[in-house]
Amino acid sequence: MRIWAFPSFYPMDVPGRRWSGIFAHRQYQGLIKNGADLKVVVPVPDHPPFPFYLLSEDWKSAKEMAYPHGAVYDGVQVLYPRISTKKPSRFFGSHLERYTDALAKMFKNNNITLDRSTDIFFSQWLPESACVTYAAQKLGVKSAVLSIGDDVVVWPHDSERSLESFKSAIDMADVRFACAQYLADATNKLMGRDVEQFVVRWGVDYDFFQPSTDQQQQELRSKLNLPQDKVIILTTGTAIVRKGWLDLFDALAVVAKTNANFLLVGIHAGESALDLSSEAAARELSGNFLNLGEVPPSAINDYYRAADIFCLPSHWEGLANAVIEAMSTGLPVLTTNVCGHPEIVFDGENGLLVPPKQPQLIADRLSKLIADKAYRRKLGENARKHIVEVWGNSEDNTSFLYNRLLHTLDS
């Protein structure tokens, strides 16, 4: 089986994008380990040569991105076909047609002949998923789609056109997956009928993301220049409002009035809509906030294992991969009861759940976690146990995905 994987975003070895879409990369690695011949395809806008690209902001933006035509990321081949952006675009076919042409040209230039019995297009949800399923039909192969969050929770609600595009992609796909049952149910609601879908959970390498001993935690804190005498709260996510950063700062401002013995360690990458350091300072939390910015994916595990608490108060998520990784490392997790989170975090048993946009509730829960080490340990141990005994690792979960894709090709 040859899988052409179309992620909504994918890591690149450039600042700000080194861990963008790392969850997709790990799933792809699992598919490869199960036996798939998988290549990643990231179609990007084309631009004319100098000086003509200076005539359009779209062309200049495409030029500044400086996408290569091909790359290898952590052993996975990545291709970047160019979508024509000739202007005025209405004279050069629809976006669907130009997207398909870009893929056809990529296959031709690489001397690749598609075979309906062996090749399948596999896309994560994104506005272009309709393009992927359309191109698959035009190029004579089957397609699969995987919903991951905003693609169901936000995008189809933007406009009637977005909803119709969403429905078109669902209808054209030969097989449909969701990373959480919540998303599968929400898809059925949007479609107005039940469609066949398979839930494929994000797995985790729990042999890599594993708890630290007290001694290992001390050594990691020394290595990372983190204080030994403070309770370390870790949060990760793009610096945007919907990740709950402002709610977390508001909550910690309340906590600090009675117990300031904590340090919030923030990790984020990509474009920032918030000045996190300024937001912390506005709440008199500068001394309690370490703004790390981007951290390479290979180093994230050290921060999980050095921390005492993981907190992600998102306004919505599909099912945050960071929550799974934190639980795997034995951290007590405090997150919001949105979308797929209640499918893995059971409030008071292996973590804590609060409604979104509720800083006071976050403050109450964090205060107890900061003050009670035994409580933290209990939740963290239960979290680790759930991941290992119930949730599963990336390779186990992708074996199901692999077999369903294989079945789709054979049917």
What's residue 84's pLDDT?
A: 86
Please indicate, yes or no, if residue 63 is contained in any of the structural domains: yes
Q: 72 and 30 share a domain? A: yes
Q: 189 and 49 share a domain? A: yes
Q: How many domains does the chain have?
A: 2
Q: 182 and 233 share a domain? A: no
Work out the mean pLDDT of the chain and round it to a whole number: 92
Please indicate, yes or no, if residue 208 is contained in any of the structural domains: no
Q: 272 and 383 share a domain? A: yes
What's residue 90's pLDDT?
A: 65
Q: 190 and 103 share a domain? A: yes
Confidence class of residue 100 from pLDDT cuts 50, 70 and 90?
very high
Q: 374 and 400 share a domain? A: no
Q: SS3 for 311?
A: strand
Please indicate, yes or no, if residue 24 is contained in any of the structural domains: yes
Q: 279 and 379 share a domain? A: yes
Confidence class of residue 40 from pLDDT cuts 50, 70 and 90?
very high
Q: 240 and 199 share a domain? A: no
| Contact status, residue 5 vs residue 39, Cβ threshold 8 Å | yes
Q: 346 and 290 share a domain? A: yes
Enclosing domain of residue 312: 214-391
Please indicate, yes or no, if residue 8 is contained in any of the structural domains: yes
User: pLDDT per residue over 313-362, tens digit each?
Assistant: 999 888 899 999 999 999 999 999 999 999 999 999 999 999 999 999 99
Q: 179 and 232 share a domain? A: no
Residue showing tokens 């992609």? 169
Please indicate, yes or no, if residue 169 is contained in any of the structural domains: yes
Q: 79 and 176 share a domain? A: yes
What mean pLDDT is predicted for residues 206-212?
Answer: 94
Which CATH number covers residue 258?
3.40.50.2000
Confidence class of residue 92 from pLDDT cuts 50, 70 and 90?
low
User: pLDDT per residue over 218-273, tens digit each?
Assistant: 999 999 999 999 999 999 999 999 999 999 999 999 999 999 999 999 999 877 89
Please indicate, yes or no, if residue 209 is contained in any of the structural domains: no
| pLDDT greater than 90 at residue 216 | yes
Please indicate, yes or no, if residue 260 is contained in any of the structural domains: yes
**How many CB atoms are closer than 10 A to CB 334?**
29
SS (H, E, C) 214-238: HHHHHHHHHHHCCCCCCEEEEEECC
CA distances from 153 to 147, 164, 182, 190, 319 (A): 10, 15, 10, 10, 12
Q: 293 and 385 share a domain? A: yes
CA distances from 384 to 210, 237, 398, 401 (A): 8, 21, 20, 24
Residue 302: burial class (beta carbons within 10 Å; 0-12, 13-18, 19+): middle
User: Nearest Cα to 42, choosing from 34, 59, 53, 17?
Assistant: 17
Please indicate, yes or no, if residue 302 is contained in any of the structural domains: yes
